[in-house]
Amino acid sequence: MGLRNQFQPKERAYDKIAEGLTEAIAVAQGEETGAIMHVRPVGRPTSGKQRVTLLLEPDVIAKFRATGPGWQARMNDVLKAAKV
């Protein structure tokens, strides 16, 4: 058995690639093909929080930032606990 018999002819390899692409396109278009396709969500996960723009005095921000990573979450906790 020579080396030639160990490899598939190019045509057969291209046919397999084309078959896979055809199936991927069908799945993307919503057709049932029996193929399993893993899709990751795009973007950041939703946290249920709402983005706002807030103007604060520089010394207030500096004090929270000085507490290290997670300072925004700590600021959120302080605002939640405030009796307004």
Distance CA 66, CA 75 (A): 12
pLDDT tens, N- to C-terminus, the chain (84 residues) = 555 555 556 667 777 777 777 777 777 776 665 656 666 777 777 778 888 999 999 999 999 999 999 999 999 999 999 988
DSSP 3-state of 69: coil
CA distances from 37 to 11, 27, 49, 83 (A): 26, 8, 31, 50
Verdict on whether the full-model pTM lies above 0.85: no
